Amino acid sequence: MSKRKKIDEIFISNFKFFPETSETNESVKIGGNHFLLYGENGAGKSSIFWALYTLLECANKTDTTKIQKYFDYTDQNNLLNINASPINPGDKKVLNSYVSLTFKDDTNDKYKISYDDTAIMSDDEAKISNYASDFVNYRFLYSVFNFRHRSQIDLFDHFLYHVFPYVKFASTEISQWNDDKTQVVRIVKENAIELFNFVIDGPPYTTISGNRREYITRRSNKTFISNRIKRIIGELDSLVTHINTRGNEILQNELKYPEITFKLTLEKEKDFHLTKRKYTPPVVHLWLSIPNYQGKSDKLHRAHSFLNEARLTVISLAMRLAILEKRPTDAEVKMLVLDDLMISLDMSNREKVLEVIFKKYLSQYQVFILTHDKLFFEYIKMTISQKSSINDWTISELYVGQDDKTKKEYPLIIESDLNYVKKAERYFKAKDYSTCSLYIRKELEQLIVERLPDEFRLTIDGKFKDLSYYWDRCVERYEKLGKSISTEIKQAFQTTKLVLLNPQAHHILTHPVYKIELERAFELINEISNNYPIPSSTILLSKGMILQFKHPNQNYTFDFELLTDFQIDGLNGSIEIILPKCKVISWQFNCLDFWCFRTNSVLNTAQISTIQARTDKLDKVLENLKSVTSLAITNAIFKANTKLTNGLWSLEEVIDKSGVVIF
């Protein structure tokens, strides 16, 4: 079995909606994960689908010109970007037009196609990967039932295009010309489309003049052809049996449509006919019927006219998933790419399909789910959090961007792992100003909070304090460190918060977001980032440490926990001491727990709980020690000692080893 490879990046240049690779047209980053992509209409989502499909499809081409046509400027069937053009007038080749992909943890290996690069045709692993992967979009599912009302559903042509190229039959010997067409040879084939091409196109012939053909009509040759056709059609019959069995199991048990049974019926209406001048292929049909529907047998004669779109879609999907089980399992690349697969389904049916995908296929394939439905995109993200691991997925969004200079459009990818300001910049380019403003707020929150001491970060989720509170603390901190925030930046923050951030954060939809306001907000972010570096901090004692004061002369101990770090801030030579917040744990005097010096008695449970729930700065804790006891308490602040460890410490030892600084 081949070693499995996971796609890391997809590079699409001058292909369909993707322009030449540049700073704006970056690679599509997958990171070896499953991939979920929201793409607004016209942004290039389906271009990614067709890039992957075309790339693997080219592995099974037999002629370089069949790959080159996709990149040939003079070929009407090319897939070039609308703005692509050759270097010189009349040239076929366009510079930097290609599709390629790289693999995770294997930077030296890649698949690539271009006008000049057709080597994938000789890559056996890529061929198997094409057989093993599947690409399904809404158009494929709907094409199964794209027949007129008066017509029966015959899927033979559908199978020729959509199924046979990716299915292997039992090895079968057929006849064909050798490469230089000097003699007829017999060769073993497994690919269903190559075998059916023999059935449809017939045996080799000689062109004698004009379009006149001459076939070998000896009885032995006719017998050979007859036996080959019977064997090939027999292989198709076995595939049909599998689809009827597994497809109905998938439809009824996994997609939850127990009231429907479909049936494919293979019919060979006419046998082949061979004369010295003409070959007539056999006439083969693949009839699709619905023999049972909601408990009634043979009542539904025109399924494509009677059933709604959702039911037609799931029947088509059940057949496709059944066929997928016949694909090779030993490929190095196994992709399952789904482009707007569930567009015609309501949410309950989408949930059923997602359940099947997450349950059966995530472990077997690198799954790509592409959708233009933003609500469904959010629903899939929720499903990932429930049924998978978010770390196993790369989640991105795709919008139409526009180059500021050329005004040409390009796909604008917003990756989930971008930082807030990068996301804001890309939503700004996508003209999604509301979302842009939300990420600007997040970026400002992050900029401010990372410039605050730890004690102020505890409530940054907004439950207790708002952004103005943290901004004020940030202003105070820089003033203490001798780096006052300028009046201009203070005013810019207030304007940005008032005009832009608050209304959007609170969903006041009547407030318009203007481009100029967002540009000023980006300027504010740059000013803070570039001119006000994060102060350096030296941690003396870490939060979570439990300290104990032990009186040197009397039987008295006092235990408390640090809720924040005890640290010293520094910026451009200025220093500020940041005292930690503390919480009382317990104390004892003369072996009596929770002794009250004022009442000369032990505190009751309620009084103890009240004291333990209280938080104070270290200087306040020590002040309280002096005020509630008649004992002599030394005011002290301690510096960290490398010999000290987490746990229960003697405050007396800290003072002895680290020195004392009087308040």
Q: What is the pLDDT of residue 507?
A: 47
Name the more confident of 439 and 107.
439
CB atoms < 10 A from the CB of 58, how many?
A: 24
**Four-residue CA torsion sign, 305, 311, 313, 315:** negative
Q: What is the pLDDT of residue 663?
A: 24
Give every CB contact of residue 94 below 8 A, 6+ residues apart in sequence: 14, 71, 73, 80, 84, 85, 86, 87, 115
pLDDT higher than threshold 90 for residue 334 = yes
pLDDT digits (tens, 9 = 90+) for 273-331: 999 999 999 999 999 999 999 888 887 777 777 887 788 888 989 999 999 998 888 88
Q: What is the pLDDT of residue 648?
A: 38
Residue 113 burial by CB count (10 A; 0-12/13-18/19+): exposed, middle or buried? buried
- Distance CA(102)–CA(118), nearest Å, equals 16
DSSP 605-648: HHHHHHHHT-EEEHHHHHHHHHHH-SS-----B----TT--SSE
Q: How many CA atoms lie within 13 A of 77 on its CB side?
A: 7
Counting every residue written for the chain, the total comes to 663
Name which of 447, 470, 581 is nearest 524 in CA terms: 447
Name which of 520, 648, 534 is nearest 585 in CA terms: 648
Q: What is the pLDDT of residue 632?
A: 55
CA 65 → CA 50, 56, 78, 194, 633, distances in Å? 19, 16, 11, 19, 91
- Distance CA(431)–CA(440), nearest Å, equals 14
Residue 194, amino acid: E
Name which of 606, 450, 597 is nearest 528 in CA terms: 450
* pTM score over 0.85: no
pLDDT higher than threshold 90 for residue 362 = yes
The torsion angles phi and psi of 625, rounded to 5 degrees, stand at -60, -40
H or E element, residue 415:
strand 409-415
Q: What is the pLDDT of residue 639?
A: 35
- Distance CA(504)–CA(498), nearest Å, equals 10
Mean pLDDT of the residues in the chain:
83
- Mean pLDDT, residues 640-654: 39
Q: What is the pLDDT of residue 661?
A: 29
H or E element, residue 579:
none
pLDDT higher than threshold 70 for residue 29 = yes
Q: What is the pLDDT of residue 647?
A: 38
pLDDT higher than threshold 70 for residue 501 = no
- Mean pLDDT, residues 126-139: 88
Helix-, strand-, coil-residue percentages of the chain, each rounded to 5: 40, 25, 35
pLDDT higher than threshold 70 for residue 73 = yes
- Mean pLDDT, residues 556-574: 80
Name which of 473, 641, 470 is nearest 569 in CA terms: 473
**582 near 618, Cβ under 8 Å?**
yes
Cα Rg of the chain, angstroms: 36
Q: What is the pLDDT of residue 238?
A: 95
**99 near 51, Cβ under 8 Å?**
yes
pLDDT higher than threshold 80 for residue 141 = no
The torsion angles phi and psi of 622, rounded to 5 degrees, stand at -70, -35
CA 188 → CA 167, 180, 410, 560, distances in Å? 15, 18, 46, 82
**583 near 564, Cβ under 8 Å?**
no
Q: Which tokens in the block code for residue 22?
A: 């540049």
Q: Which of 334-338, 469-473, 653-657 has the lowest mean pLDDT?
A: 653-657
pLDDT higher than threshold 80 for residue 500 = no
- Mean pLDDT, residues 350-364: 90
Q: Which range scores top for mean pLDDT: 166-180, 221-235, 386-400, 598-612?
A: 221-235
Confidence of residue 185 (pLDDT cuts 50, 70, 90): confident
CA 171 → CA 114, 185, 189, 190, 581, distances in Å? 32, 16, 6, 5, 77
Partners of 213 in beta bridges: 207
Q: Are strands 134-137 and 335-339 parallel, antiparallel or unpaired?
A: parallel
- Distance CA(587)–CA(93), nearest Å, equals 84
pLDDT higher than threshold 70 for residue 520 = yes
Q: Which tokens in the block code for residue 390?
A: 């978010």
Q: How many CA atoms lie within 13 A of 477 on its CB side?
A: 27
Q: Which tokens in the block code for residue 208?
A: 């004698």
Q: Are strands 601-602 and 212-215 parallel, antiparallel or unpaired?
A: unpaired
- Distance CA(635)–CA(619), nearest Å, equals 8
Give every CB contact of residue 90 below 8 A, 6+ residues apart in sequence: none
Name which of 80, 66, 101, 72 is nearest 20 in CA terms: 80
Q: Which of 376-390, 508-522, 605-619 has the lowest mean pLDDT?
A: 508-522
pLDDT higher than threshold 70 for residue 646 = no
End-to-end CA distance of the chain: 72
Angle at CA 365, nearest 5°, toward 363 and 371? Answer: 110
Q: What is the pLDDT of residue 574?
A: 74
- Distance CA(6)–CA(11), nearest Å, equals 15
Q: What is the pLDDT of residue 627?
A: 65
H or E element, residue 282:
none
Distance, C-alpha 10 to centroid of its chain? 13
